[in-house]
């Protein structure tokens, strides 16, 4: 009996050590990114902006920052969406369901939008209605049809050539989402729109570190706050150097999951 208890004790210790190793070390990347984009001062696109996925999370942060810069922003929302936060910051809204192409086209009819931003993706409880590919495809097609030229798209590390950069558990857990977002990225690249694709890693609700940058390096990985991803997306809108590029959103201050526990 004592032998069994000892064996169980060692097994528990090994499991604890494994979990600790993952949290402290293996949940991140120590690859030093190359091709770091030199941040440019914010430049207004000089026209109205339409945002999909802008009523929550990273998208809402993007809308808030754009409004703080005085931009004319409209957010496409579902009929059932809570728009109180958008009203509070002075953003317009238009009703559209990204999975219904007709309503997406109708959303573009309300204004001559110069820039389109999409953070559309699956949230918890929406597994039966994933907009990750179909929804974004509808938005991309409607943007092109309506004459918009600039498209900024926030996806996720693990798509396309960044597959190996994502931690293995994330690749497994988000397998379907990653594949769908990868298809949407490819559709955007083939659209002829002036695109910028931004791939963040694990997203935090924490504060900005002020160190996040865009890197043209598919091997890079870090965790990052939604606020910092939003800032990178907003800055990219008016930066011609980002057109036709796919970037990783990288924060050198959040290389591992352990940083989340320190916030």
Q: What is the pLDDT of residues 148-189, one digit of tens each?
A: 999 999 999 999 999 988 877 777 778 899 999 999 999 999
Which tokens go with 232? 């990178």
28-32, 62-66, 251-255, 256-260: lowest mean pLDDT where?
Answer: 256-260
Helices (H), the chain: 2-21, 57-68, 84-88, 101-108, 134-146, 168-173, 175-189, 226-237
57-71, 160-174, 194-208, 248-262: lowest mean pLDDT where?
Answer: 248-262
pTM of the model: 0.87
Place of tokens 């955007």: 188
DSSP classification of residue 163? G
Percentage of the chain lying above the pLDDT 70 cut: 84
By the 8 A CB rule, do 204 and 226 touch? yes
What's the pLDDT at 17? 47
Q: What is the pLDDT of residues 82-140, one digit of tens each?
A: 999 999 999 999 999 999 999 999 999 977 999 999 999 875 445 557 899 999 999 99
Residue ranges per structural domain of the chain: 31-262
What's the pLDDT at 19? 47
By the 8 A CB rule, do 23 and 257 touch? yes
What's the pLDDT at 133? 95
Report the C-alpha gap between 116 and 21 in whole angstroms. Answer: 41
What is the overall mean pLDDT for the chain? 87
What's the pLDDT at 256? 73
What's the pLDDT at 88? 96
- 3-state DSSP call for residue 236? helix
What's the pLDDT at 117? 98
By the 8 A CB rule, do 143 and 177 touch? no
Angstrom CA distances, 63 to 32, 69, 116, 222, 260, stand at 31, 10, 12, 24, 25
Q: What are the respective helix, strand and coil percentages of the chain, to the nearest 5?
A: 40, 15, 40
Percentage of the chain lying above the pLDDT 90 cut: 68
Q: What average pLDDT does the segment 15-21 reach?
A: 49
93-97, 193-197, 199-203: lowest mean pLDDT where?
Answer: 199-203
Listing from the earlier edge strand, what are the strands of the sheet with 115-118? Answer: 92-95, 73-77, 49-52, 115-118, 150-154, 194-199, 245-250, 213-215
What's the pLDDT at 124? 44
State the maximum Cα–Cα separation within the chain, in Å, rounded to a whole number: 76
The alpha-carbon radius of gyration of the chain (Å, integer) is: 20
CATH number, span 31-262: 3.40.50.720
DSSP classification of residue 24? I
Report the C-alpha gap between 247 and 200 in whole angstroms. Answer: 9
Residue 227 makes CB contacts below 8 A (sequence gap 6+) with 61, 207, 208
């Amino acid at each position: 009996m004592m032998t069994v208890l000892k064996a169980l004790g060692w097994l528990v210790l090994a499991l604890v050590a494994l979990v600790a190793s993952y949290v402290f070390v293996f949940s991140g990347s120590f690859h030093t990114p190359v091709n770091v984009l030199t941040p440019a001062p914010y430049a207004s696109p000089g026209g109205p902006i339409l945002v999909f996925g802008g009523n929550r999370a990273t998208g809402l942060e993007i809308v808030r920052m754009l409004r703080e810069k005085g931009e004319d922003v409209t957010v496409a929302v579902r009929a059932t969406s809570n728009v109180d936060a958008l009203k509070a910051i002075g953003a317009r809204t238009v009703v559209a369901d990204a999975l219904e192409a007709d309503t997406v086209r109708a959303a573009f009819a309300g204004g001559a939008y110069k820039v389109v931003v999409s953070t559309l993706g699956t949230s918890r409880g929406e597994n039966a209605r994933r907009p990750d590919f179909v929804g974004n495809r509808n938005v991309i097609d409607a943007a092109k049809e309506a004459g918009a030229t600039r498209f900024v798209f926030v996806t996720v590390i693990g798509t396309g050539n960044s597959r190996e950069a994502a931690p293995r558990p994330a690749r497994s857990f988000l397998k379907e989402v990653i594949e769908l977002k990868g298809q949407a990225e490819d559709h955007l690249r083939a659209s002829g729109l002036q695109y910028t694709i931004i791939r963040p890693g694990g997203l935090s609700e924490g504060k900005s570190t002020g160190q996040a940058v865009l890197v043209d390096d598919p091997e890079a990985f870090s965790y990052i706050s939604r606020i910092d991803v939003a800032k990178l997306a907003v800055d990219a809108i008016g930066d011609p150097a980002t057109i036709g590029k796919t970037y990783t959103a990288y924060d050198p201050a959040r290389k591992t999951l352990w940083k989340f526990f320190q916030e």
